[in-house]
């Protein structure tokens, strides 16, 4: 047997991209469970439909691009996109909404830009924004958390949920929809925060920031901590995003007046905050590359979220903030190179070869 000629290093970790993606999928479980517990089967149905569509699209595109289909499916990146989008969409959303969003995310946002690793924008967020702009009614119809259902009303079971989502059944979802905590704040005029918290069962029955939402967010926070522990990403982007968001909301809390934009706790534990912080902002492909860059990137996402939530026309802002910062990531990269060993200060990526080295 002839000896192989290979370059160093000869040792490798057993970890591969598929493993990393699987870890991310695993980490979404607590959040997904919390969502299911409070909002019913809709979330899981979303995830399943999105996953099937995503894998189908990925396989088709890979086939069209004449690449080994199974090799690329095994990296699970399409599945991650699908799961994140599925979790972000309103539970019990009609099937075609999920289909359109997912296929747009995979085909347009991912593969038209060159596939895994080459997409400048987070595919799940692109899919989400496309749906939000195209189908605002469906996208803002969130079911009420189960504990707040009127007396005597049962939460829809799996079968009933499927009937609401899939075609030919036409069960109405409207009966179950309710405003989200962020919606409530957005449309609050005249009530002090304290009054609002007392009058609205969404808050009065909650521990911190809205029934169901706070637990879903805590679930995603737990998943994120797990990923941090497994060193799938570094703390820089999520922590700076959360800190920036908390600081902004603290600054504009306004002592809980009727024009307040909500407390830091509300902002941290409602909407897509934690899902975004640990699963979207940390998407390595579309964020900045250095740790310093990721801190800046994360912080600006946090600031943008607060700005859009408070003064924009949408109650939540995760997708817009992330996409806007996706634009800025290459620019941030140019000016946030780390200081290399032996150098006095960091360099800029835009430096020309003729510039002084050091």
**Cβ nearer to other proteins, comparing 263 with 282:** 282
What part of residues 270-289 is at the interface with other proteins (CB under 8 A)?
284-285, 289
Q: Does 11 bind other proteins (CB under 8 A)?
A: yes
Question: Which is closer to other proteins, CB of 187 or CB of 357?
Answer: 357
Binding letters toward other proteins, positions 169-208, x by CB under 8 A: ----------------------------------------
Residue 331 touches other proteins, criterion: CB under 8 A: no
What lies within 8 Å, CB to CB, of 10 at 6+ separation is: none
Smallest separation, CB 25 to other proteins (Å)? 15
45, 202, 299, 337: which one binds other proteins (CB under 8 A): 337
Among 28, 36, 51, 77, binds other proteins (CB under 8 A): 77
217 or 286, CB closer to other proteins? 286
Residue nearer to other proteins on the CB measure, 194 or 355: 355
Rule CB under 8 A: which of 16-55 touch other proteins? 16-17, 19-20
8 touches other proteins (CB under 8 A): yes
**Binding of residue 73 to other proteins (CB under 8 A):** no
Does residue 15 bind other proteins (CB under 8 A)? Answer: yes
For other proteins, the closer of residues 99 and 285 by Cβ is 285
Q: Which of 181, 231, 259, 261 binds other proteins (CB under 8 A)?
A: 231
CA 145 to chain centre: 20
Alpha-carbon distance of 273 to 249, in angstroms, equals: 13
Q: By C-beta, is 140 or 334 nearer to other proteins?
A: 334
Interaction between residue 150 and other proteins (CB under 8 A): no
Residues 91 and 106 sit within 8 Å (Cβ to Cβ): no
The CB-of-290 to other proteins minimum distance in angstroms stands at: 6
- Pick 63 or 348: Cβ nearer other proteins: 348
| One-letter-per-residue 3-state SS of the chain | CCCCCCCCCCCCCCCCHHHHHHHHHHHCHHHHHHHHHHHCCHHHHHHHHHHHHHHHHHHHHHHHCCCCHHHHHCCCHHHHHHHHHHHHCCCCCCHHHHHHHHHHHHHHHHHHHCCCCCCCCCHHHHHHHHHHHHCHHHHCCCECCHHHCCCCCCCCCHHHHHHHHCCCCCCCCHHHECCCHHHHHHHCCCCCHHHHHHHCHHHHCCCCCCCCHHHHHHHHHHHHHHHHHCCCCCCHHHHHHHHHHHHHHHHCCHHHCCCCCCCHHHHHCCCCHHHHHHHHCCCCCCCCCCHHHHHHHHHHHHHHHHHHHHHCCCCCCHHHHHHHHHHHHHHHHHCCCCCCCCCCCCCCCCCCCCCCCC
**133 part of the interface to other proteins, by CB under 8 A:** no
Question: How many Å apart are CA 321 and CA 318, to the nearest integer?
Answer: 5
Could you tell me if 90 and 66 are in contact, meaning their C-beta atoms sit under 8 angstroms apart?
A: no
CA dihedral 75, 77, 82, 87 (to 10 degrees): 110
Question: Rounded to the nearest whole angstrom, what is the least distance from the CB of residue 237 to other proteins in the complex?
Answer: 10
Among 61, 105, 232, 317, binds other proteins (CB under 8 A): 232
Size of the site for other proteins (CB under 8 A): 51
Is residue 117 close enough to count as binding other proteins by CB under 8 A?
Answer: yes
Among 290, 301, 315, 317, contact with other proteins (rule: CB under 8 A): 290
316 binds other proteins (CB under 8 A): no
Binding site for other proteins (CB under 8 A): 1-13, 15-17, 19-20, 71, 75, 77, 115-118, 231-234, 284-285, 289-291, 333, 337-343, 347-353, 357-358
């Amino acid at each position: 047997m002839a000896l192989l000629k290979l370059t160093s290093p000869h040792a490798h970790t057993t970890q591969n991209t598929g493993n990393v993606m699987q870890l991310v999928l695993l980490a979404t479980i607590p959040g997904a469970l919390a969502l299911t517990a409070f909002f019913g089967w809709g979330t899981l149905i979303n995830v399943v439909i999105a996953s099937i569509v995503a894998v189908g699209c990925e396989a088709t595109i890979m086939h069209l691009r004449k690449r080994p289909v199974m090799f690329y499916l095994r990296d699970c990146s399409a599945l991650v996109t699908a799961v994140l989008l599925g979790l972000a969409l309103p539970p019990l959303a009609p099937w075609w909404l999920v289909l359109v969003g997912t296929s747009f995310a995979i085909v347009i946002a991912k593969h038209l830009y060159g596939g895994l690793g080459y997409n400048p924008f987070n595919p799940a967020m692109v899919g989400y924004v496309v749906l939000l702009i195209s189908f605002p009614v469906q996208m803002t119809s969130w079911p009420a958390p189960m504990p707040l259902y009127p007396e005597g009303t049962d939460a829809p079971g799996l079968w009933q949920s499927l009937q609401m989502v899939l075609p030919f059944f036409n069960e109405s979802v409207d009966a179950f929809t309710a405003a989200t905590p962020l919606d409530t704040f957005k449309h609050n005029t005249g009530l002090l925060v304290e009054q609002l918290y007392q009058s609205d069962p969404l808050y009065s029955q909650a521990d911190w920031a809205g029934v169901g939402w706070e637990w879903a967010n805590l679930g995603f926070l737990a998943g994120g901590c797990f990923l941090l522990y497994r060193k799938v990403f570094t703390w820089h982007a999520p922590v700076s995003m959360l800190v920036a968001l908390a600081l902004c909301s603290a600054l504009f809390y306004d002592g809980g007046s009727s024009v307040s934009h909500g407390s830091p706790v509300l902002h941290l534990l409602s909407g897509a905050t934690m899902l975004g912080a640990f699963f979207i902002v940390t998407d390595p492909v579309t964020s900045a590359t250095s740790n310093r860059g990721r801190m800046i990137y994360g912080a600006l996402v946090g600031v943008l979220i607060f700005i859009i939530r408070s003064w924009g026309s949408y109650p939540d802002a995760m997708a817009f903030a992330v996409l806007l910062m996706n634009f800025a990531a290459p620019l941030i990269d140019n000016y946030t190179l780390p200081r290399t060993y032996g150098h006095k200060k960091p360099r800029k990526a835009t430096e020309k070869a003729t510039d002084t080295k050091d």
